[in-house]
Amino acid sequence: MKKATPLLLAAMLGLHGCASSPLSPTGEAVYYALQTDTTLRAWADACSDVSARAGQAAFTAEKNWWKRNGAMVEGADFGLAYDIINVTDTRVETGARVAMALTWQVVETAEAEVNDMLASASNKEDLCLRVLDQYNEGQRDLRGDDKVYQSLVDLQRRSQQQGEDLEIKRAAVSVEAGKEYGRSFYVVEKMAKRNGCSGAEVHLLKNAWPHEVYDASCPDGSYLLMRCEGGDCLIAD
């Protein structure tokens, strides 16, 4: 299981444990679920560019993995959001930066893993097919660790019981603060820079996590429209 960095662990507020174990079992489960989901989408995106066969395998793996694990990923996302908003309350910028930092690190870790493995592969299509088959057949399901699985089941149950409470608190904070932030903000900034738009002014156009839309206004007067799915962002045509 991948570990979050110490800086991020300190930022994960109510999900932290004691000094010898920075993340509580729930915190470990949240990070593991979000990281596994994001890594699958990173593999799917990269492998779709390798070949048509790999692209089809990516589509199938994403669909089947989400059927088995999607509810637990949503529960993990709820756990993170609920603890952030309860601890930071109306300090909306603090809560937003925590969420942005986590999303950014999860995406960075996933992209680095995929890019490194593909760069060293002699046969990229074969690698894609082998990894995607592991997701498709359940070898990388979130049920692999009993403690993690139980924590995710508990979070899934909490999301069903307290989901409406979270939305009410989110709305109250947004109204009081007069601001709304998107979790993929740092990811969008980095993508804009990669595409020749350094120093972009980023605006959130749609915030319906995990679905977000951003507009990045570049210094030369051009702009980029980006659509994000759980921190995985693409430039819209």
Backbone dihedral angles phi then psi of residue 32, each to the nearest 5 degrees: -60, -45
User: Does residue 209 contact residue 77 with C-beta atoms inside 8 Å?
Assistant: yes
The rounded distance, in Å, linking the Cα atoms of 87 and 32 is 22
Residue with tokens 């990173």: 42
Q: Where are the domains of the chain?
A: 6-180, 182-237
Max Cα–Cα distance, the chain, nearest Å: 55
pLDDT, one tens digit per residue, over 104-146 is: 788 889 999 999 999 999 999 999 999 999 999 999 999 877 8
The rounded distance, in Å, linking the Cα atoms of 181 and 208 is 11
pLDDT, one tens digit per residue, over 53-68 is: 999 999 999 999 999 9
More confident position, 102 or 143: 143
Helices (H), 24-145: 25-48, 52-88, 92-119, 124-136
What H or E segment, with its residue span, contains residue 147? Answer: helix 146-177
What H or E segment, with its residue span, contains residue 30? Answer: helix 25-48
* Cis bond before residue 25 (omega within 30° of 0): no
The pLDDT value given to residue 83: 62
User: Does residue 156 contact residue 74 with C-beta atoms inside 8 Å?
Assistant: yes
The pLDDT value given to residue 141: 94
**pTM, two decimal places:** 0.66
Residue 170's CB is within 10 A of a number of other CB atoms, namely 18
